[in-house]
Every structure is written in C-alpha cells, then in structure tokens.
Amino acid sequence: MQFQRFMRRLPTAESLRDKPFLKPFAPYLHHHFLWQFNRRSVAGGVATGLFFGILVPFAQIFLAAIAAIFLRVNLPVAALCTLVSNPLTFPPIYYLAYRLGDVLTGSEPIPSETAIDAEVEHAMAVQQGEVDGWIPQLAEWLHSVGFPLMTGLAVLAASAAIVGYVGVSALWHLHVRLSWMRRRQRGVRQP
C-alpha cells in the first residue's frame, strides 16, 4: 500500500517533458527504462545517485538525471539518491573524503586550528588592502587540500556507488526469494 502511494507521487514522463529546462532531453524522457522498478534499474539508479551526490557539490540532481538517461537506469531513484549529501551530511562526507585522500596521496596533513588562525591573521595583516593577494592563496590552498580532497571524493563516490548497487541488488534478490518461499508455503497449506 505504501509503495503504491509512493508511485503516485513520482513525476511522470509527461509532467517532466513539459518543464522548459528539460526541453533538450524531452525525446529521451519517454523511454520506459527510466521509470521502471526492477532490480537492475533501481540498483543502477541508486549507484548513479550516490556517485553524483558525493562527487559533485552542485547540480547533483541534474547531472544524475543526465547520467540516468544515458545509463538507462531509474531516473527518480537516481535523483532521490543524490540527497545523500545535504547540509547535515556535507561536512562529515567532505572530512572523510579529505582524510581518505590524504592517506591515499600521502600528502602533508592540514596544520592545527591555532596554526591556521595565526597564519590567517598574519596574511591579513600583510595583505590588507591588496586585492589580488587571494588568488595565490587560493591556488596554494587548492594545491595543499584540493588534490587529497578530490582523490578522496572520487574514491568515496565510486565505493558508495558500488556498495549501493550491490546492496540494492542483494536486498532485491533476498526479497524475491522470501516472496517465493511464502508463496510456496501458502501453496502447500492449501489442500
């Protein structure tokens, strides 16, 4: 009963085709594989959504929807799974990604908070009034933190996608087996 209520709330291909920002993708939105609920389609939608939800900090739903169209997986599930990164989960995901990337790349750790505060105060005192001093600092920060962070995000996104796909496939398979076992038991009980 809850599943039927959920299915009624999902957008249809017709309702999405009428959206002006989706006009370029309108020819692709009518394909049945974007809307069907089977093991492969849902597991692929979960994997796609988790991948783009973790890897990309902006336009996640849009990129996951485009990927769902090309990968022929469930579009609503892919869009929904991008919400894995939200304002509550964003800091822990990015911290974990940085630490993972730091271990994988072997880069130097971020200095302590007091050292950062002292560096910021010194940099502000030296560059006060200097407008273009932030560009080299941004480049330095991206070089020191950006590479481990991006490496960690890529590994974390790929791992989450694989675990999501395998997990949904396994749960779907288990559900089907249990349903068949219940049907068989009901069939044996009836004379």
Say how far apart CA 161 and CA 141 lie, in whole Å: 29
| CA dihedral sign, ordered 56, 62, 64, 66 | negative
Give every CB contact of residue 48 below 8 A, 6+ residues apart in sequence.
Answer: 64, 67, 68, 71, 73, 78, 81, 161
Q: Is residue 153 part of a domain?
A: yes
pTM flag (> 0.85): no
Tokens matching residue 85: 């990164």
Residue type, 97: A
Estimate the crossing angle of helix 60-71 against helix 39-55, to 10 degrees. 150
- Tens place of pLDDT for every residue, the chain, 191 residues? 566 676 666 666 666 667 776 677 677 667 767 778 889 999 999 999 999 999 988 889 989 988 998 999 998 899 999 999 988 988 899 889 988 998 888 766 555 555 555 555 555 555 554 555 666 766 776 677 788 888 999 999 999 999 999 999 999 999 999 999 988 888 766 55
Angle at CA 148, nearest 5°, toward 147 and 153? Answer: 100
Q: Is residue 4 part of a domain?
A: no
Q: Is residue 155 part of a domain?
A: yes
| CA dihedral sign, ordered 57, 62, 65, 67 | negative
Question: How many whole angstroms from its chain centre is CA 65?
Answer: 11
Q: Is residue 80 part of a domain?
A: yes
Tokens matching residue 159: 């791992």
Question: What's the domain count of the chain?
Answer: 1
Residue type, 35: W
Q: Is residue 81 part of a domain?
A: yes
Tokens matching residue 111: 């200095």
Q: Is residue 129 part of a domain?
A: yes
Question: How many whole angstroms from its chain centre is CA 71?
Answer: 15
Question: Residue 57 sits in which domain range?
Answer: 31-189
DSSP letter (8 states) at residue 72? T
Q: Is residue 8 part of a domain?
A: no
Assess contact for 159 and 54: CB atoms under 8 A.
Answer: no
Q: Is residue 131 part of a domain?
A: yes
- The pLDDT score that the predictor gives to residue 118 is 58
The Cβ-side half-sphere exposure at 7, using a 13 Å CA radius, reads 7
Task: Determine the 3-state secondary structure of 179 from DSSP.
Answer: helix
